[in-house]
Structures are given as structure tokens and as C-alpha cells.
Amino acid sequence: MNELMNLAQVTYIKVDKPVLGPKAIKKRQFMDNAMEEFIHLLQKESWNQVLLLEDVNKSFNAFMITFMYHYNALFPIKTLYLNNKNKNKWMTKGLLVSRNRLRILNGMKRSTKISVEFRSYINKYQLIYKNLVKEAKKWKMIDLFCPQKIKRKEYGR
């Protein structure tokens, strides 16, 4: 007997580069005045061409053509570009890579059963990352508020 069997498969994917979000998104804006105008146009529309057709599919297609015409005219798709500028000036590329790696590790920590050694590795990685973030913030504050002479003398930069 040839029967089809469904077998589950597990795949592990190693990701070297962090996954970055989209740089732009497409979106429609629904304003109150545009909604009122849309309702007004639909009420004003003559639906005889839709109602007189015998075939349901053709009637539906005629309705959708009219509906989508007004919908796209009043609620156009706009492309919004996301601000990719780093608002945290202290956040370096190395910290971004470490943050993304830490997210992956925390996901593994929550979703899979891991060894004690690997759990201690993740905890140590978290501690090191936390200390690096503190240092980066400290150095950024020093760069902002200390004059150059004081910075060189006291902080060795």
C-alpha cells in the first residue's frame, strides 16, 4: 500500500548577520474626512450595472472594480521611510551586533532545553553586554559634557 505519511522535520539555522527590519513600509492613512467622502461617493454611485448582472461572479467583480476605484483614490498607498538614524549615539555597530546575538541566545534559552554550561555562557554574555553598554553611555556623556583638556587628563583619551 502506498500511503502518504506526514513526517515532522526540525531544522536548525545558523544566522551570522543580524536581521534588520524594513527600511520602508507601505501604509494607507484613513482620515475622518476621507472616510466621509468615501461613504458619500459610494452612496452617490449608480449600482445598476452590479444589480442587473445575472452571473454572481461578474456582479461581484463589477462591484469590486467600482469599490476599489474609490478606495484607492481616497486612501492611496503611501510609502513611509523609517528613520534609520541611530538616536542613541553611544550605540556602536559592535553593540548592535552583540544585542542581536543576545536576542538570539535569549530566544534559544527560552525555547529549547540547554545545558548548564551553555546557560552560564549566556548569563556571562548578558553581564558583559550590560557592562559594555554602561561604559559606552559613560564615554558618550564624557564626550558631550567635558572639555577636551579635562578629557585627555582625567580619562586618558
- How far are the Cα atoms of 3, 142, 153 from residue 147, in angstroms, in the given order? 78, 9, 10
The answer on 69 and 106 residing in a single domain is: no
38 within domain boundaries: yes
- When mean pLDDT is compared across 13-17, 33-37, 39-43, 133-137, the lowest value belongs to 13-17
The domain tally of the chain equals 2
Mean pLDDT of 36-47: 93
Residue 11 domain-assigned? no
**Euclidean distance between CA atoms 60 and 51, whole angstroms:** 10
Whether the predicted pLDDT of 82 surpasses 70: yes
Q: Is residue 3 part of a domain?
A: no
Q: Supply the range of the domain harboring residue 75.
A: 24-81
Q: Do 62 and 97 belong to one domain?
A: no
Q: Is residue 60 part of a domain?
A: yes
Residue 62 placed within a domain: yes
CA atoms within 13 A on the CB side of 129: 19
Q: What are the pLDDT digits (tens) for 143-156?
A: 777 766 555 555 55
> What is the band of 7 on the pLDDT scale with cuts at 50, 70, 90?
low
Q: From 72, 66, 76, select the one nearest 43 (Cα to Cα).
A: 66
Tell me the average pLDDT across 50-70. Answer: 93
pTM: 0.42
Show which of 81, 103, 124 is a domain's final residue.
81
Q: Check whether residue 127 and residue 74 sit in a common domain.
A: no
The residues, any chain, with a CB within 8 Å of residue 155's CB and separated by 6 or more, are 142, 146
Cβ neighbours of residue 99 closer than 8 Å, sequence gap 6 or more = 129
Quote the CA–CA distance of 128 and 120 in Å, as a whole number. 12
Residue 149 lies in a domain: yes
Q: Is residue 139 within 8 Å of 90, Cβ to Cβ?
A: yes
Boundary (domain end) residue, out of 57, 81, 105: 81
Q: Round to whole Å and give the CA distance between 50 and 58.
A: 8
Residues 64 and 112 in one domain: no
10 vs 68, more confident: 68
Residue 8 lies in a domain: no
Residue 61 lies in a domain: yes
pLDDT at 88: 76
Query: Stretch 61-89: mean pLDDT, rounded?
Result: 85
The yes-or-no verdict on residue 117 having pLDDT over 80 is yes
